[in-house]
Amino acid sequence: AACRGEALWESETAYALGGRWLQNAIYIRDETMTKVHSFSKNISDAQVVGEYVRCTAIADLQMKGGKKRSLPIRVAAAHLTGGQFVDSRFLTFEGEKGYEIRQVLLDRPDVLMGDLNSYPDTERAEQCQQAYDPYIDAKDAGQLDQYFGWTLEGTQEAERAGYLRLENFKNTTAYGGTVDHIYLRPDVSLKFSKSFEVLGGNIVGNFEQSDHNLVMVGVIAL
């Protein structure tokens, strides 16, 4: 399952490698999962984002050899609005990340994951953004409360809907902090395994190919 979001800027590393669009994709391991169904959709409010649309890829996956759970697991991968261009105009985009999460959750995914461009709490947002121009500008303008609301908007909307977040407080981006998240719907028979990894190094070339690391965790069917 895959979907196409906004166009890449020529200054982005992936552009030189042939990339032209932001894309959400879901890959599965054939040995353990079977794809039952997949689809994608735009999740942005066009009146707010204009041509800079974001999307979600959704797949229904069946575990192979599993006797405990007969129903497919619905997985949604999303990349919410954000980045320096948007963050510097956060008052214009205020509410958009929450809107995008709600659009994803309309399809009731069991697992929600992706770059939500949102921190888990104000403390970590402040800690990681001291040298970030949009944070500095908001502080100088006396708008930190509104800015922090923006930096937490995606995670807070998911948690407001009852979704349970993987407690990952490691850096997942080159800029520091956790903005890549995995959530489980609370009313399904799934749980996170006890350990998780944030994979860097040779996996992503120390941020040479991407400004994000990979977050990996096991999901156990109860």
- Tell me the per-residue pLDDT of 119-176, one tens digit each, with 9 for 90 and over: 999 999 999 999 999 999 999 999 999 999 999 999 999 999 999 999 876 788 877 7
* pLDDT band for position 66 (cuts 50, 70, 90): low
**Tokens matching residue 4:** 């196409």
Instruction: Note the pLDDT of residue 23.
Output: 81
Task: Tell me how far CA of residue 143 lies from CA of 29, 52, 125, 136, 138, in angstroms.
Answer: 46, 25, 14, 10, 5
Report how far residue 110's alpha carbon sits from residue 165's, in angstroms, rounded to the nearest whole number. Answer: 12
Q: What's residue 68's pLDDT?
A: 59
Q: The tokens of 18 are what?
A: 């042939």
